[in-house]
Amino acid sequence: MEKLFIILILRSNYRFHNIINLIRNEGTLISWNGFKFPFDKDNKKDIRRIYLFSNRYGVEFSDTNRNWNYKEGIITTPSGIKFLIKKFDPLIFSETFLSDIHFSSFDLVNKVVIQAGGFIGDTALYYASRGAKIYSFEPDINSYNTAMKNIKLNPELSKVIVMKNYALGEDGEIDFPINPNGSGGSSASSINNKRTIKVKSISVNGILNEFSLKDPFLLDIDIKGNEFELIKDKAISLFQMVRVEYSTSIDGKMIGNRNTIINKLKEMGFKKIRVYKHNEGTYDLMAHGTIEASR
């Protein structure tokens, strides 16, 4: 890992003055504009991720309003949303807060959004910051616990967020892998030789009933393989808009075809459908991507 990071340093655009410090166990990383990131052996990996985020995506950190900020283990977005640096993922945060892949409407005030695959609360807080009433579900217990801490860091936004340690699928329970790192890649379709725990599973119809939700606006699904089963839920037809991140194979095994999802959405009355890449990863859209559908 150390050698890989040195290679990344050598290939960098040098947006930082003293990147080589990050191969040490403590010190201070200084950006080109003088912003300082002190680190020690406990948070060195976190500061490395900030470096990669800034350098790869051209993100500037400063104390100026409307810029990204970092202080005492907390990252603040230009819009003021706060996150713990722990489990910060440069790729996922670039998708949500730079590429704005979850944009759904200029007016989300009081609209109901159900979001599956909540990771560390980043998407829930994004929708809440745009005025939505958000119900977010994350089956990975470590990611869920981090999400609850992040939501607590944003007391005003937390008022419109309900987050539960549920998986979306059929009503009941499922075995879900325990990921000690709490990464966003955990999947109920990938549990071979992994330690698992029982997690409550709930259908879309079950969510609408449990929380007495009427006239839901958006269903945002990122559940790493189970989208091909969830799309059969007839309650999806009650939404105005659906967004599905799909992966047609898990652990090298084919599990579905994106046209299955598209055809189901059409059957439910969604007429406007687009398929797009949600990040710069090297994948073909037949294998992975996002489907967005509206009426």
Contact 102, 123 (CB under 8 A): yes
Phi and psi for 90 in degrees, rounded to 5? Answer: -55, -40
Q: How far is it, in rounded angstroms, from Cα 92 to Cα 30? A: 24
Nearest to 146 by CA among 60, 68, 88: 88
**Class of the CATH domain delimited by 104-294:** alpha beta
Tell me what pLDDT residue 218 has: 98
How far is it between the farthest Cα atoms of the chain? 58
Range 230-257 average pLDDT:
93
- Cβ partners under 8 Å of residue 215, min gap 6: 112, 238
Q: How far is it, in rounded angstroms, from Cα 151 to Cα 97? A: 16
Q: How far is it, in rounded angstroms, from Cα 272 to Cα 283? A: 24
Delimit the CATH 3.40.50.150 region(s) of the chain: 104-294
Residues 144-200: tens digit of each pLDDT: 999 999 999 999 999 999 999 999 999 999 888 777 665 555 655 555 656 788 999
Nearest to 294 by CA among 223, 232, 237, 251: 237
Contact 169, 196 (CB under 8 A): no
Angle at 240 between CA 276 and CA 289, to 5 degrees: 15
Residues 107-138: tens digit of each pLDDT: 999 999 999 999 999 999 999 999 999 999 99
pLDDT > 70 in the chain, percent? 90
Tell me what pLDDT residue 7 has: 47
Q: How far is it, in rounded angstroms, from Cα 217 to Cα 240? A: 5
Contact 273, 292 (CB under 8 A): yes
Residues 75-117: tens digit of each pLDDT: 999 999 999 998 899 999 999 999 999 999 999 999 999 999 9
Mean pLDDT for the chain overall: 89
Range 265-291 average pLDDT:
95
Residues 3-23: tens digit of each pLDDT: 544 445 444 555 787 777 778
Q: How far is it, in rounded angstroms, from Cα 199 to Cα 117? A: 13
Nearest to 183 by CA among 50, 79, 89, 63: 89
Range 53-64 average pLDDT:
90
Three-state secondary structure along the chain? CHHHHHHHHHCCCCCECCHHHHHCCCEEEEECCCCEEEECCCCHHHHHHHHHHHHHHCCCECCCCCCEEEECCEEECCCCCEEECCCCCHHHHHHHHCCCCCCCCCCCCCCEEEEECCCCCHHHHHHHHCCCEEEEECCCHHHHHHHHHHHHCCHHHHCCEEEECEEECCCEEEEEECCCCCCCCCCCCCCCCCCEEEEEEECHHHHHHHCCCCCCCEEEECCCCCHHHHCCCHHHHHCCEEEEEEECEECCEECCCHHHHHHHHHHCCCCEEEEECCCCCCCCCCCEEEEEEEC
